[in-house]
Amino acid sequence: MHQFEGTILAGDSFDPIRGRVVVDDGRIEAVEEAATDSTDIVLPAFINAHTHIGDSVAKEAGVGLSLDEAVAPPDSEKHRRLAAASREDLVAAMRRTLRFMEQTGTAAHLDFRESGEAGAEALRTAASETATDAFIFGSGPASVLEIADGYGASGANDDEFTDQRAAAREANKPFAIHAGEPDTTDIHPALDYDPELLIHMVHAETEHLERVAEQEVPIAVCPRANTVLGVGRPPIRDQLDHTTVALGTDNVMLNPPSMFREMAYTAKNFDVTDREVLWMATAAGAEIADLDCGVIESDRRAALLVLDGDSDNLSGTVTPVSAVVRRATGMDVKQVVL
């Protein structure tokens, strides 16, 4: 049995509690108020709701390129680099990215993996030696669902995904699809697939979000990547008013998969509260992928992030949730429990 003391950001509201989290055999036994001298801040480990870590072999290759030039299938810079990489180099690069994610407090990530069954298998291999879980949305033929946790479609304007949608439903696995990143034209067609998850929705308008609410489809947003690619700003406030919204970092070739950076950018540039941002970075992604973590409460998996509240950066913190969202960095991480 282990105890983690300090200021606990517990439950759905992340209300700070001075006390301890009691963990036994990898699960949270109790969250207790108690006197403690610890200055640590204990919060749920992050869930990164949208990544492409395959392009870890091409960091910064997309800088200065348009969306189509950088990442659009099948002939973008990303896809050319992936095709040129050996399996050994690809797995090694993804494993290093996963180690960075683990070190900076990410318990799991929802990854759109290119290259069909071979791509999904390569990520499984990379993830097997790290503590950060990979929830894999596979691509290509429907047979990828034999390996992957779900199907990840590039976009309704890119190809036809009727067979893959049907196969995902038959396998009782989620179907996710990019939508509304370059413009509005692929949003209604994406919703026609009745997906379990939409990615980006940068150009979503009221008519689209009303349909999202009716179909109860969650959204994963990636604000930093949208900025790098110059595609616009997702209407996060409106999205939150209609559905569950989770935070992702998108392509490793564009941004480091740091949830600290993503939270700070989102809090400072969008009409959202700090608590909403922390929810988007933790519980929302866990809810989307049906993961038993993302919130500190009894009988949950003990996926925890312990920050040094007495670090030179965090010392003197008055509002712990805001400090985590706006100020904390990987240098403040004291322990990651996964």
User: Above 90 in pLDDT, residue 261?
Assistant: yes
User: Above 90 in pLDDT, residue 61?
Assistant: no
User: Above 90 in pLDDT, residue 75?
Assistant: no
User: How confident is the model over 222-245, as a mean pLDDT?
Assistant: 97
User: Above 90 in pLDDT, residue 65?
Assistant: no
Listed range (51-65, 221-235, 273-287) with the worst mean pLDDT: 51-65
What was the pLDDT predicted at 101?
A: 98
Threshold 0.95, pTM exceeds: yes
Q: List the structure tokens of 4.
A: 């983690």
Listed range (26-35, 64-73, 152-161, 200-209) with the worst mean pLDDT: 64-73
Angstrom CA distances, 263 to 268, 322, 326, stand at 9, 10, 7
User: How confident is the model over 84-95, as a mean pLDDT?
Assistant: 95
Distance CA 211, CA 234 (A): 17
Mean pLDDT of the chain: 97
User: Above 90 in pLDDT, residue 78?
Assistant: no
Q: In this predicted model, which residue has the larger pLDDT, 77 or 301?
A: 301
Q: List the structure tokens of 276.
A: 């909403």
What are the tens digits of pLDDT across the range 113-167? Answer: 999 999 999 999 999 999 999 999 999 999 999 999 999 999 999 999 999 999 9
User: How confident is the model over 186-213, as a mean pLDDT?
Assistant: 98
- In DSSP terms, 198 is beta-bridged to 177, 219
Distance CA 305, CA 42 (A): 6
User: Above 90 in pLDDT, residue 79?
Assistant: no
- Domains annotated on the chain, with CATH: 2-45+293-337 (2.30.40.10), 46-289 (3.20.20.140)
- In DSSP terms, 41 is beta-bridged to 7, 307
User: Above 90 in pLDDT, residue 252?
Assistant: yes
Residue whose entry in the numeric block shows the structure tokens 């959202």: 272
Please spell the DSSP secondary structure of 17-43, one letter per residue: EEEEEEEETTEEEEEEE-------EEE
User: Above 90 in pLDDT, residue 102?
Assistant: yes
Report the Cα–Cα distance between both ends of the chain, in Å, rounded: 15
What was the pLDDT predicted at 111?
A: 98
Residue 213: CB partners within 8 Å, gap ≥ 6? 242, 243
Q: Quote the DSSP letter at residue 330.
A: G
Listed range (82-86, 117-121, 276-280, 321-325) with the worst mean pLDDT: 82-86
User: How confident is the model over 60-83, as a mean pLDDT?
Assistant: 87
User: Above 90 in pLDDT, residue 314?
Assistant: yes
Percent of the chain residues past pLDDT 70, beyond the cut: 100
User: Above 90 in pLDDT, residue 82?
Assistant: no
Give residue 22's pLDDT band: very low, low, confident or very high (50, 70, 90).
very high
